[in-house]
Amino acid sequence: MLRPVAEGVLVHESEFCQSNAVVVQGGAGVLLIDAGVLGGEMACLADDLRELGQTVMAGFSTHPHWDHLLWHARLGEAPRYGTSRCADTVRARLSDAGAKARVARTIPPDIAEQVPLDLLGLITALPAETTRIPWDGPQVRIIEHQAHAPGHAALLIEERGVLVAGDMLSDVLIPMLDLNGADPIEDYLAALGLFEGVAGDVDVLIPGHGSAGGADQVRARIDQDRAYVRALRDAHVPSDPRIGPSAKDGWDWVAGIHEGQLQRLARESVSVTSQPPAR
């Protein structure tokens, strides 16, 4: 069910990892950001939009992970956008005949049959350095960065004071670094700096997974994520309720993600320091 969070901005929350599909109402239809995960839920979203007399005029995927690249035929054939780097990454990952089968193996078994992959990743690259979504509606600023995934973008709906953060600034998920990136720690800290630069313009924060927050939550979540990333960088034990005994019910697996990141960064640090000096 669609839930309004600001004027002309509504959210549909999935049962899967509290995934948030965001609807922005415009003059002739809506912009749909990260359409959803389960086929039945996306069909329900299409029904809700029809009852509101709205059609999807454009879609947007915040980043190139499978759960943000899905679509349902009942949502229509509107153009679906992503940043240039996001779209290039999707194209490379889905370029061979076995790509969808590989994606299917990464989907949790309990929902695998409910996730439609036929329209996976059919996004159009926006020209590099594009700063606005091309559509007939409120101005939506693209805040591109390289944290979490290549070409990740947060969207600032300026006239509504809403920041759609993609897979960042969550109350249930810790920062998940792109460990294949050149400098995952600094990339993440740089992205948080970009968010800090617009925090004063944000009244509502919508993460890709988790609960929406008000203006008071924006800087609090930036600070919490920065503290976690710095603790990873410095090999300290982070004091973070998202991975401790106070973690939200059903989210205990997040601690495993933390341990995996800690171990990977430790291995890479050892590898770097063990290299012989350049001659």
252-269 per-position pLDDT tens digit:
999 999 999 999 998 887
Provide the whole-model pTM.
0.94
What ranges do the domains of the chain cover?
3-126+138-273
pLDDT tens by residue, 127-164: 999 999 999 999 999 999 999 999 999 999 999 999 99
Mean per-residue pLDDT of the chain: 94
- Identify whether the C-beta of residue 257 lies closer than 8 Å to the C-beta of residue 209: no
Q: Would you state the torsion angle of the CA atoms of residues 208, 209, 215, 218, taken in this order, to the nearest 10 degrees?
A: -80
**pLDDT classification of 277: cutoffs 50, 70, 90:** low
pLDDT tens by residue, 85-131: 999 999 999 999 999 999 999 999 999 999 999 999 999 999 999 99
Cβ burial, residue 211 (10 Å; 0-12/13-18/19+): middle
* Assigned token pair, 97: 């005949």
Nearest Cα residue to 9 out of 31, 28, 27: 31
Mean pLDDT throughout 217-230? 97
Q: Which residue has the higher pLDDT, 271 or 194?
A: 194
**Residue 189 above 60 pLDDT?**
yes
**Residue 193 above 70 pLDDT?**
yes
Q: What is the pLDDT of residue 131?
A: 97
CATH 3.40.50.720 fits 3-126+138-273, yes or no: no
Q: Which residue has the higher pLDDT, 246 or 146?
A: 146
Distance CA 67, CA 22 (A): 14
Q: What is the pLDDT of residue 5?
A: 97
HEC profile of the chain: CCEEEECCEEEEECCCCCEEEEEEECCCCEEEECCCCCHHHHHHHHHHHHHCCCCEEEEECCCCCHHHCCCCHHHCCCCEEECHHHHHHHHHHCCCCCHHHHHHHHCCCCCHHHCCCCCCCCCEECCCCCCECCCCCCCEEEEEECCCCCCEEEEEEHHHCEEECCCCCCCCCCCCCCCCCCCHHHHHHHHHHHHHHHHHHCCEEECCECCCEEHHHHHHHHHHHHHHHHHHHCCCCCCCCCCCCCCCCCCCCHHHHHHHHHHHHHHHHHHHHCCCCCC
Q: What is the pLDDT of residue 268?
A: 82
